[in-house]
Structure 1
């Protein structure tokens, strides 16, 4: 099964779209539906397909788009690294754990 890349878009139907730190504002005298359609058409041309949406209020929602992963889709994400200690941490007590009985 192939890997997917995802894009989360916040839409405020009063005239603002936010995605990955980029704000898009409604044009002068542009209808709200035309504004959102214009934005969705632009990312659709890049291969993004609507996967789901989550309404937040009567005027806003999150939309999740996906497409098959391409080179560079994950370039902005740091690689996950886990540090493995080479020596165990020093202990200050020579006693074992305290066990309480009821």
Structure 2
């Protein structure tokens, strides 16, 4: 079974899109054109729309996925306790994490 990366995009049809901390404003174009242009760009990056979660009559979360790629998963910041007592690597992923992306499985 393949590994997936997910992206959640908030679209407010009154004027903006928010994705991973980046805000995009509509400007001088139709709302549907704005959303289509934005989603087409994500499609060019291999993102596929898999779900829409309506919030209000003017906004929704759009959930997209694509096969996991290098760099899709950020490494979690180490906690204070792990900084004081570093763990000894015992798995291939722990020995060479830079050789492959960190992939989470359900």
Give the number of the structure whose alpha-carbon radius of gyration is greater: 1
Coarse TM-score class (shorter-chain normalised): 0.7 to 0.9
1:23, distance to aligned residue in structure 2 (A)? 0.4
1:20-77 deviations in Å (ceiling 9; x for gaps): 000010022x000000001000000000000101000000000000000000000x34
Equivalent residue for 2:72?
A: 73
Equivalent residue for 2:87?
A: none
TM-score where L is the length of structure 1: 0.74
SS state at 1:72 partner = coil
Query: Root-mean-square deviation (CA), in Å?
Result: 1.9
1:14, distance to aligned residue in structure 2 (A)? 0.6
Query: Equivalents in 2 of 1:63, 1:14: separation in Å?
Result: 16
The answer for unaligned runs of 5 or more in structure 2 is 83-106
1:80, distance to aligned residue in structure 2 (A)? 7.6
Dislocated runs of 4+, deviation >2 Å: 79-83
The answer for unaligned runs of 5 or more in structure 1 is 84-102
- Count of aligned pairs: 82
Equivalent residue for 2:20?
A: 20
Change (3 A) 1:13 1:4: same
Alignment of 1:1-102 (within 5 A): 1-28=1-28, 30-74=29-73, 76-78=74-76
